[in-house]
Amino acid sequence: MKKIFAIVVAILTLTACVRDEFPTTNHPARGEGSVLVEASIAVPAMQDTRSFANPEITSLHLLVFDENGYLVQVCDAAAVDGFGVEKDTEYKFLVELGQSNYKRTIHLVANSPVAINEDGSSNYILGEHERRVINTLYTEGGQEAYWARVVLEDGIIGEQAVKDGKAVFVPSAELKEALTRVPMVRNYASVKLTNNASQYLVDAEIMMANIPDKGSVAPLINDGNYASFAERVETTNSEYGYDDISAQGYMGYEPDNTQLIATAWGTMHEIYERHQQSGGKAVATPAYAIVRGRYVGASATDANYSYYKVDICFTNDATGAVELYNLLRNIEYNIIITEVAGRGYGTMEEAAAGAASNNLNFAVETKNLNNISDGERRLSVEYTQRVLTEGETLFTLKYKYETNIKTGTTNNAAVTFSNLVGNVLAVNNASGTTETQKYVVSNVTGADGWNTVTFKSQAISGTKIQTIILTAGNLQRGVELILGQPYTMVLDMVPGSTTNTIAKGINKSIDAMIILPQGLPEALFPLQINLVAEAKSLSPDQNKNTIPVISGLNANGVPTSDGDYFGYVLTIEDTDYYERDEEGNITGYKTQKTFHFRTSCEESSSKVNVYNPYFEIASDSFTAN
C-alpha cells in the first residue's frame, strides 16, 4: 500500500503544470492555511481629462504565482469603500491569500479582460505559467486597465491570533506593508494639444494616426522582467519620467495581432502605447499627429482648415540625430504650437503623405506639470500657476534647464522668456531695449542649480490673468499669473447655532466650518489655513480628525518673528472642493469643510481667527456657559 501511494503522489507531481488537470478557480474557504488581508492600491496621476470608454475601476484581481512562476491562486478583491481613480488616494480592499513559506509573486490587475464569475469560476487557468497568463492580457476598444506586481521573497506569511474566541491567521507586518498603497500603472498614454499661437491658428485640434487598437495590461521588457513606473514614498507615489523608464530598457509592449488605427479630432487623446524606435532605427509606420486649424492671415481667418503633420520626435544631443519617442504608458505627450509660419496642406491626406511641418514645436512631459522633458533634457519651473493678492509686490519664480538629465548638466542661460507684456507684470526698467530687460527685476543663479527670477506685479484693479512662457530649445513651460483682491472666506464656529453657545467644561465638542467662495483656482490647493483660538482653549478631536499644530503665530494666525500663539493647520484638498464629472471636468464646488475640535479648559469661550495669505482674515467666536 505504501508503494502504491508513492506512485500516485509522483503522478500528481508530474502533472502539476498541465492546465487540464486544474479547476478554473481557487477560492479557499477561510481557515487554517489562509490569511485575510486588508490591502490597498493607489492609482497614478493624469486623471484630468478622459476619452477612453470606461474611466473607472470596476474590478481588481490578484493573481498569485509560485516560486517557479506557475499560477496557484486567483482572487477577486472586495473593495472596502469602492475603487476610484483620484490621484494619491488610497483604495482599500479585502483579499484572502493562501499561506506559503516559499516565494510568491502577485500581479494586481484592475479592469482585467478576464472575468471572475459569482461562483468563482473564470478563464484564468491554474497551473499556467506567468508568461502565459500575464504577458497575453490586453484590453481594447478604449477600455483602461491598471497593473502592479509585488514580489514576496519570503512568501505569504500569516501570524496566529485569536478573534471572537477563535484561532485565526492575520497578515504578518511584512505582508501588510507589501500590500499597502501598491502603486498601479495605467496601460495607456496621453497626447495633448496646447495652442500658444492662437493669434495665427484658431480652432486647433489634433488627430493621432497609426496608433494601436489594443494595449497590453503589463509593461513587459523581456521574459520575467517588467518595467517600473512608480515607487511608494510614504503617503504618496513617486512616478518615473520618460528617461527613467527608457533607461530600464522599456520601449513599449504591444499585444499580438495589433491593428493600427486613427483617432477622431480633439485636443486630447488617450492611446494605447506604441513602440516607435530602438537603437536609432524607427519602425516602418510610426505614429504621428495631424494638426488642423483655421489659419489667420493678414486680413482674415481662412474659412477652410489647414492641416499640418507632426512627428513625435526629438533631437538626440549626443548624436544630433532626430529620433522618435516611444509612446509609453503613464506618459503625457504635449504638442505645443509656438508659431505658425503660413498655411498648411489643404487636405488631411496631403498632410499625411507629406513631410512633417517644422513650424509647429512640440515636447514630451509626464503629468508632473512643473517640468517637461524630451528624454535627454529637462526644463523645470517652481510652479505653473501663481495667485498674487498684494499689488505692486515683487515676487519670484525658480527655474532650471538641464541639458543632460543623466549628468545633471545645467545651462539656465539658454532659457528665454516671452509673453511678458500683459495684464499682471509691471515694467521695472522702462529704458530696457528688450522685453526681458523691461520686465525682469533680477535673475540670479543659486548654489542649488536653480535660477531665481524676480518680477513686479501691477497694482490690483479687478482680476487679471497673464501666462508667461519659458523656452529652452524645443521645451516650453507656461506659468499662469492671477492678480486680484484677496479672496474672502467665512468661519462659523458653531454651525447651525444663532448664538454660538456651547456647554461649559473641558472636552466639549465644537466644530469649525470653513466656507469658501466658488471658482477658486486650482493653484491654491491643497489650501492650508491657520486657525488660532485667542484663549488657547481648543484642541483637535482626535477621534474625528488629525490636525497638525503650528507655532510662531500672532493672534490672527499670521506667522511672525515674535509670534507667541500656537494654532492648527487646516488642510482642504482639491478633492474636498471641486466636483468633477467622469472626464475630470469641473462641474461644481463643495464650498463647506468642517473640522472637529474639543475644548481644553473649563472657561473655553474665545474669539477664533483663520488666516491664509491669499485670503482676508476671517473671525468668529463662541461662548461657553
Write the CATH number for 199. Answer: 2.60.40
Confidence label for 317 from pLDDT (cuts 50, 70 and 90) = low
Residue 5 lies in a domain: no
- Residue 83: closest CA among 42, 115, 121, 51: 42
pLDDT tens digits, 63-78: 999 999 999 999 999 9
Residue 411 lies in a domain: yes
Distance CA 369, CA 18 (A): 49
Average pLDDT rounded to a whole number, residues 604-622: 95
Contacts 24+ apart (CB under 8 A), 551-560: 553/611, 555/609, 556/532, 556/609, 556/611, 556/617, 557/529, 557/530, 557/531, 557/532, 557/609, 557/610, 557/611, 557/617, 558/530, 558/611, 558/617, 559/530
What is the reported pLDDT for 14? 27
CB-CB contact of 313 with 324 (8 Å):
yes
Distance CA 210, CA 573 (A): 39
**Run of H or E including 176:** helix 173-178
- Domain of residue 395: give its range: 390-483
Asked whether residue 306 falls in the same domain as residue 198, the answer is yes
Last residue of a domain, one of 163, 186, 209: 186
- The arrangement of strands across the sheet holding 104-110 comes to 71-76, 60-65, 104-110, 146-152, 185-186
Q: What is the mean pLDDT of the chain?
A: 85
- Residue 38: closest CA among 96, 107, 88, 85: 96
Is residue 165 pLDDT above 80, yes or no? no
Asked whether residue 49 falls in the same domain as residue 135, the answer is yes
Residue 233 lies in a domain: no
What is the reported pLDDT for 478? 79
Distance CA 178, CA 71 (A): 19
Distance CA 577, CA 571 (A): 11
Is residue 362 pLDDT above 60, yes or no? no
Residue 239 lies in a domain: no
Distance CA 458, CA 306 (A): 39
Q: Residue 365: beta bridge partners?
A: 332
pLDDT tens digits, 371-418: 776 667 888 898 888 889 877 789 999 999 999 888 889 999 999 998
Residue 246 lies in a domain: no
Asked whether residue 588 falls in the same domain as residue 496, the answer is yes
Asked whether residue 163 falls in the same domain as residue 59, the answer is yes
Residue 227 lies in a domain: no
Distance CA 348, CA 265 (A): 11
Last residue of a domain, one of 437, 466, 483: 483
What is the reported pLDDT for 55? 58
Distance CA 588, CA 577 (A): 9
Residue 222 lies in a domain: no
Confidence label for 11 from pLDDT (cuts 50, 70 and 90) = very low
62 vs 318, higher pLDDT = 62
Asked whether residue 407 falls in the same domain as residue 333, the answer is no
Residue 395 lies in a domain: yes
Asked whether residue 594 falls in the same domain as residue 540, the answer is yes
Sign of the dihedral defined by the CA atoms of residues 5, 8, 10, 16, in that order: negative
pLDDT tens digits, 233-288: 666 667 788 888 998 999 999 999 999 999 999 999 999 999 998 776 888 899 99
Residues 6+ apart with CB under 8 A from 365: 331, 332, 333, 334, 371, 372, 373
Asked whether residue 179 falls in the same domain as residue 197, the answer is no
What is the reported pLDDT for 21? 29
Is residue 369 pLDDT above 60, yes or no? no
Asked whether residue 350 falls in the same domain as residue 416, the answer is no
CB-CB contact of 229 with 239 (8 Å):
yes
What is the reported pLDDT for 374? 64
pLDDT tens digits, 434-479: 999 999 999 999 988 999 999 999 988 877 888 898 988 877 787 8
Asked whether residue 459 falls in the same domain as residue 354, the answer is no
CB neighbourhood size of 86 (10 A): 16
Q: Is the pTM of this model over 0.75?
A: no
Asked whether residue 78 falls in the same domain as residue 206, the answer is no
What is the reported pLDDT for 72? 96
The alpha carbon of 226 is separated from its chain's Cα centroid by a whole number of angstroms, namely 21
Average pLDDT rounded to a whole number, residues 106-118: 94
Structural domain count of the chain:
4
Angle at 339 between CA 338 and CA 342, to 5 degrees: 155
- Residue 105: closest CA among 134, 65, 70, 132: 65
Asked whether residue 47 falls in the same domain as residue 134, the answer is yes
Confidence label for 501 from pLDDT (cuts 50, 70 and 90) = very high
What is the reported pLDDT for 117? 87
pLDDT tens digits, 174-213: 999 999 999 999 999 999 888 888 888 999 999 999 999 9
Asked whether residue 509 falls in the same domain as residue 616, the answer is yes
Last residue of a domain, one of 348, 376, 404: 376
